[in-house]
Structures are given as structure tokens and as C-alpha cells.
């Protein structure tokens, strides 16, 4: 006859949850008892200095205060992570704007993408590339201001749009302007990692939420 043993996962944690606070309280009690004993047995002709007593009291209060602060910060951190997760769940199934150079298709089967400029540019050109890196077209956008911009590219009839990428070339008066390629991606799932929120994106994979530039 087999025996089934049931375990309560909460039972093993209940006894340790308040250990730091209990240890601090016990240390504080021991200190106060020791201080009272010292005062009761002090030499009447050479009593303890009030400044010394005040200093010792301040030390134990500081230790207790730090422990309480650590406990409070831990609770706040846990609550913040839970709030992030709740917000992240609402993104599942939606598109977000992230760094990336994969050309996407819109409803009209046009290639779309975006970019961000660190400063204004007098000329911006988008290079459309195949998976092998060959340039198949150039989209000239002219002068563009600092910030985020989008573009749309109409492919030749019958061209395969799979695995196409784009490259941004921006200049101002002959000097290159820093640009970041941007693309839309779909959120398939969310999870917490290292205390932060990560999104599982359909094309970009595991991506920290901090990398999201905008919500679509």
C-alpha cells in the first residue's frame, strides 16, 4: 500500500519570514538590558556620561531604523514588480515600437519601418536590402527633423517581401547624423527578469521593457 505525503508550500516559509525583524528586536532588547545593568552597577562617584548613553541609544536606533527601511524597500520592490507584470499582461497581442531593421508589411502590402535621428538631417536615405545584404532600392526622404519618423515603401510587383531589412543613412551638411532603425513588433508574452519586466516579441525575442520606444 503506497503512502501519499502532502506538503504545504507555505509552511516552510512561514517561520522564516520575520527572522530579520525578530533578530533586530532581540538585539535591541539585549542592548537595553545591558545598558540598564551598567547604570544600576555604575560607580556613584564616577557615573556614566550622558553623552555616552545618548550615543549608544542612537546607535541601536540607527540599526533598527536601517532594518525597517530595508524591509520597507523590499516590500516596495515586490509591489512594483507585480504592478509591472499587470501592466505588461495588457500588452499581450499588441504592437510596440522597438529598435530593429526588419521591414514590416502594412495592410496594403507595402514595406514599412521607422527611425530616430539624434539631430536634424538635410538628407535621409533608406536602403532596402535582401537577407544577403544586397541593396535592391533606395528611398529618398529628403530633410528630416530630430526625433522619430516612419516611412512606407512600395515594392515592385511580384517581389518577395520575406526577410527584407532596411538601413538608414542620414547626413547634415556632409556630416553623418546618428540614426536608430525602428520597427513594430508584436508582444506574445511577458515575464519578469532580474527585477524588471521583459517582453517576448514575435520577431525580436526576449526584450527588456526599457527598450520599447512607443506603444502602437
Query: Which CA distances in Å does 177 have to 128, 146, 147, 169?
Result: 19, 10, 12, 8
Q: What is the pLDDT of residue 141?
A: 97
Mean pLDDT in the chain? 79
Average pLDDT over residues 127-154: 95
- pLDDT tens-digit profile of 100-110? 999 998 888 89
Taking 50 as the threshold, does the pLDDT of residue 12 lie above it? no
Residue 154 grid cell: 512600395
Taking 80 as the threshold, does the pLDDT of residue 183 lie above it? yes
The least confident of 9-13, 30-34, 91-95 is: 9-13
Average pLDDT over residues 200-211: 91
Taking 90 as the threshold, does the pLDDT of residue 128 lie above it? yes
The least confident of 6-15, 75-84, 117-126, 202-211 is: 6-15
Whether the CB-CB separation of 96 and 185 falls below 8 Å is answered with yes
- pLDDT tens-digit profile of 73-100? 666 555 555 566 666 778 889 999 999 9
Amino acid at each position: 500500500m503506497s503512502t501519499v505525503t502532502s506538503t504545504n508550500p507555505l509552511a516552510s516559509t512561514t517561520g522564516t519570514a520575520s527572522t530579520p525583524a525578530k533578530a533586530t528586536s532581540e538585539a535591541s532588547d539585549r542592548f537595553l538590558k545591558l545598558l540598564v545593568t551598567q547604570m544600576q552597577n555604575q560607580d556613584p562617584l564616577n557615573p556614566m556620561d550622558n553623552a555616552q548613553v545618548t550615543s549608544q541609544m542612537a546607535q541601536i536606533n540607527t540599526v533598527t531604523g536601517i532594518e525597517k527601511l530595508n524591509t520597507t524597500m523590499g516590500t516596495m520592490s515586490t509591489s512594483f514588480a507585480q504592478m509591472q507584470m499587470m501592466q505588461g499582461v495588457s500588452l499581450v497581442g499588441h504592437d510596440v515600437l522597438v529598435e530593429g531593421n526588419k521591414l514590416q508589411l502594412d495592410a496594403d502590402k507595402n514595406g514599412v519601418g521607422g527611425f530616430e535621428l539624434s539631430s536634424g538631417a538635410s538628407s535621409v536615405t533608406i536602403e532596402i536590402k535582401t537577407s544577403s545584404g544586397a541593396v535592391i532600392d533606395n528611398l529618398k526622404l529628403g530633410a528630416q527633423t530630430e526625433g522619430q519618423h516612419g516611412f512606407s515603401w512600395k515594392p515592385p510587383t511580384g517581389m518577395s517581401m520575406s526577410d527584407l531589412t532596411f538601413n538608414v543613412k542620414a547626413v547634415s551638411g556632409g556630416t553623418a547624423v546618428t540614426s536608430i532603425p525602428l520597427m513594430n513588433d508584436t508582444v506574445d508574452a511577458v515575464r519578469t527578469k532580474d527585477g524588471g519586466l521583459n517582453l517576448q516579441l514575435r520577431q525580436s525575442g526576449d526584450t527588456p521593457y526599457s527598450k520599447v520606444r512607443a506603444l502602437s
